[in-house]
Amino acid sequence: MTKRPQGPQPIGSVVGDDLIDRVQKIRERSNQRRIEAEARPGESWADAAARLRKEGQDKKSTRDRSLEEDLLDRSWADGSVQQTQAETRSNIRKPPAADCQPDFFVPTLYDVGTRDSRSVMDVAVFRLSKRDKRAGEVIRYDLPDGYVEVTAGPYGMASVWDYDLVLMMVSHMTEAMNRYREGKGDKPGRIYRPHISDILKFCRRGDGGKQASEIEGALDRLKGTSIKNVRERPSPNGKRMMREVEAEGLISGYKVLSRTDNGKIASVEIEAPRWIHQEVTEGKNPDVLAVHPDYFLIEPGIGRYIYRQARRAAGKDQAVWAFQTLYERSGSAGTLKKFAFTLRKLIEANDLPEYHLEEQKGQNGPLLVMTNRAWLADLEGLGALEYRQQLIDNGMEPSAANKEALSYARKQRKAGEAGS
């Protein structure tokens, strides 16, 4: 009996090198005959081979694009393209190893709510993509009383991840202002001096050398990205309309000190723009919103953008926005179909902090329902969710059904309190 070798063997030792050579020669002769048969008049054999090779590559690329477009068309039309449970990826990355060891003061995470009653959270003042730098590009958002332009500098447009530094600055400034109102500290100025390790820990990025070196690049993009507000408003006497234009960067300036021997950052100094400083320090109730600390763990840019929309619009209950509106306010450089496809993957995972995501059909296209999970659990206990779904099934618009369900929940709560 012949003893068979154990484990994987080279194919030549199994079928023989002569057979492999014969098969290769057959393939070469067949390919040569095809090129000779399809060669054009006056075309050399080498030119014909190059042309046919390129045509084959183009056909494959066209098939791939057609398949992708078909998937996007079906996804946009009815959401029929769904991921299996095994394919659904979490949008939340794992926190860094030292995340559970806070050894410095961590304030509540805040974001600026509005600028002159214009919501900074309602539009993306940064790019959502990590790859596309969008240097020199302009994003324009048309609004009822004017428009907002986001202009990128030569280093590229600030990304939603670069904006973490602005969130940290706003958070510390808000906490300092709260202490000032309580008589426990000085009024915060526009200069903010965080330690590099504090930045990495606050933004939950770990403490690697590459993370630290990327801070300077983020500051370059934040400094170079300007926000231009153009709006029309009545003059002080109300006799004529005036056009008002303001423009400032996401930060006004920065200074970084690094060691020359190893390049490690020793200190960072960031100057807050005037509009952020005024929003936080002027008035009794600064328009800032608390943000969940797990926001920093959201990996996709669209996930961070949708969380910001939910935090601003839904707050402690619920909001409904059209896919089309979300796309227009995202500043996305891709198509609406691609945006909708990605948004549905976000809905499928449904793991953003605080908010439950759900798609509903609307009269003019798909809608995204963003619901605070605590509010949702409260309504479910009162039977309001079932009541809301009945209203929608009977033809009521989701936004109107939400209001009716909330009213129903309040009545149920009062009835329960009176009965007890």
Tens of pLDDT, residues 205-228: 876 666 667 888 999 999 999 999
pLDDT band (50, 70, 90) for residue 306? very high
Question: What distance in Å separates the CA atoms of residue 94 and residue 418, rounded to the nearest whole number?
Answer: 46
Do 313 and 180 share a structural domain?
no
Question: What distance in Å separates the CA atoms of residue 328 and residue 141, rounded to the nearest whole number?
Answer: 8
Q: Answer yes or no: are the C-beta atoms of 154 and 137 closer than 8 Å.
A: no
224 part of a folded domain:
yes
140 part of a folded domain:
yes
Do 199 and 85 share a structural domain?
no
Q: Quick check: 81 pLDDT over 60?
A: no
Question: What distance in Å separates the CA atoms of residue 103 and residue 125, rounded to the nearest whole number?
Answer: 32
Question: What distance in Å separates the CA atoms of residue 86 and residue 365, rounded to the nearest whole number?
Answer: 28
55 part of a folded domain:
no
Q: Answer yes or no: are the C-beta atoms of 210 and 124 closer than 8 Å.
A: no
The per-residue pLDDT for range 315-335, each reduced to its tens digit, is 888 889 999 999 999 999 889
Could you count the other beta carbons within 10 Å of the beta carbon of residue 342?
19
Beta-bridged to residue 300, according to DSSP, are none
Do 349 and 246 share a structural domain?
no
Q: Which residue has the higher pLDDT, 167 or 68?
A: 167
327 part of a folded domain:
yes
The per-residue pLDDT for range 105-150, each reduced to its tens digit, is 445 665 655 443 345 667 888 999 988 899 999 999 888 888 889 9
Task: Choose among 143, 152, 149: nearest CA to 117.
Answer: 143
By mean pLDDT, which of 95-104, 237-246, 278-287, 378-387 is the weakest?
95-104
Task: Choose among 108, 269, 126: nearest CA to 178.
Answer: 108
- The 3-state DSSP class for residue 185 equals coil
* Phi (first) and psi of residue 232, to 5 degrees: -110, 135
**Alpha helix stretches (DSSP H) within 269-333:** 274-281, 301-313, 323-328
Q: Answer yes or no: are the C-beta atoms of 314 and 372 closer than 8 Å.
A: yes
Do 110 and 216 share a structural domain?
yes
pLDDT of 191 reads 94
pLDDT of 420 reads 62
Do 394 and 282 share a structural domain?
no
Question: What distance in Å separates the CA atoms of residue 47 and residue 44, rounded to the nearest whole number?
Answer: 5
Percent of the chain surpassing pLDDT 70: 76
Do 142 and 277 share a structural domain?
yes
- The 3-state DSSP class for residue 295 equals helix
112 part of a folded domain:
yes
Q: What is the DSSP string of 222-260?
A: HHH-EEEEEEEEE-TTSSSEEEEEEEEESSSEEEEEE-T
Q: Quick check: 17 pLDDT over 70?
A: no
Question: What distance in Å separates the CA atoms of residue 53 and residue 47, rounded to the nearest whole number?
Answer: 10
- Domain containing residue 319: 61-90+298-420
- The phi-psi region of residue 381 (left if phi > 0; otherwise alpha if psi is between -120 and 50; otherwise beta) is alpha
Do 355 and 222 share a structural domain?
no
Do 340 and 417 share a structural domain?
yes
Do 135 and 39 share a structural domain?
no
Mean pLDDT of 154-181: 91
Do 167 and 181 share a structural domain?
yes
Do 124 and 159 share a structural domain?
yes
Q: Quick check: 402 pLDDT over 80?
A: no
Q: Quick check: 285 pLDDT over 90?
A: no
pLDDT of 79 reads 53
Q: Quick check: 397 pLDDT over 80?
A: no
Mean pLDDT of 348-367: 91
Q: How many domains does the chain have?
A: 3
221 part of a folded domain:
yes
Question: What distance in Å separates the CA atoms of residue 51 and residue 48, rounded to the nearest whole number?
Answer: 5
Instruction: Quote the tokens at residue 401.
Output: 């059904």
**Cα-based distances in Å from 186 to 3, 22, 181, 281, 377:** 87, 86, 9, 11, 42
53 part of a folded domain:
no
Instruction: Please identify, among 274, 297, 320, the residue that sits at the C-terminal boundary of a domain.
Output: 297
Mean pLDDT of 291-306: 92
Mean pLDDT of 144-159: 91
Q: Quick check: 84 pLDDT over 50?
A: no
Do 241 and 101 share a structural domain?
yes
Mean pLDDT of 92-109: 60
pLDDT of 85 reads 45
1 part of a folded domain:
no
pTM: 0.71
**Block residue for tokens 């309040």:** 410
